Amino acid sequence: MALRTIVTVPDPVLKKKAKTVTKFDDKLQQLVDDMVETMRQAPGVGLAAPQVGILERVIVVEYAEDEEDEEAEPRLYVVINPQITRTSADTEIAPEGCLSIPGLQGDVERKLAITVKGQNRHGQPLTLRLKDWTARIFQHEIDHLNGVLFTDLATKIWKPTEPVEDNV
C-alpha cells in the first residue's frame, strides 16, 4: 500500500467524468488499498478516485453512523461503479467539507436516504441502503465521479474558523 497525493482545486481532473471500471485486476486492488490508506491518513471519511488523479469510478467511505455510540466501529465501504438507484423525497441541508477543497465549507442539500448499486472490489454486485450522514458522504463521492464538487451545489460557502471534521 502507498499513500497517494490528494489533488486539490483548481486541478482540472476534478471536473472530469470518471470512466466505468471493467477490469477487476491487481491494479484496481492496489488503487483501492491506496485510496483507503490515503483517506485514513488525510484524515477523511470518504474518497473518490479522481481525488487521487485517477479517472475511474471507484469510491471508498469509512464512517460510523451512530454518533451517540463512541464505541461504534466505523464501517468501510468500497464501491466500484456506484449508481444511485433510489432516493428519498426528504432532503436535508448541512455543511460539507472536501479534501480537495481545503479551507472551505458549504451548505449542501442532499437526499436523506438513498439506495446505491454497484460492485465490490472483486466485481460482484452489491446493493446498499444508506441514510443520514452515510448517504450524504456517498452522494458527495458519486458527484466526484461526475466532476461535480460541493462548491457547484452549495447554497452558501464560507471559510470555517475551526478545522472541518469528516472531510470527503
Q: For residues 51-70, which are near Ni ion according to CB under 5 A?
A: none
Displacement of CA 49 from its chain's centroid (Å):
9
Active-site amino acid positions: 141
Q: For residues 98-127, which are near Ni ion according to CB under 5 A?
A: 98
Between 119 and 138, whose beta carbon lies closer to Ni ion?
A: 138
Our CA angle for 55, 120, 39, nearest 5°, is: 55
Shortest distance, CB of residue 168 to Ni ion, whole angstroms? 5
Shortest distance, CB of residue 130 to Ni ion, whole angstroms? 17
Cα separation of the two ends of the chain? 20
Rounded CA separation 127/57 (Å): 16
- In this structure, are residues 20 and 57 in contact, taking their beta carbons and an 8 Å threshold? yes
Rounded CA separation 49/100 (Å): 12
Q: For residues 83-102, which are near Ni ion according to CB under 5 A?
A: 98
Between 32 and 47, whose beta carbon lies closer to Ni ion?
A: 47
Between 44 and 118, whose beta carbon lies closer to Ni ion?
A: 44
Q: Is 168 in the site for Ni ion (CB under 5 A)?
A: yes
Rounded CA separation 141/52 (Å): 13
Cell numbers that stand for 62 in this block: 469509512
Shortest distance, CB of residue 143 to Ni ion, whole angstroms? 8
* DSSP assigned state of 103: E
Rounded CA separation 92/22 (Å): 34
Shortest distance, CB of residue 125 to Ni ion, whole angstroms? 26
Q: For residues 137-156, which are near Ni ion according to CB under 5 A?
A: none
Between 31 and 48, whose beta carbon lies closer to Ni ion?
A: 48
Binding site for Ni ion (CB under 5 A): 98, 168
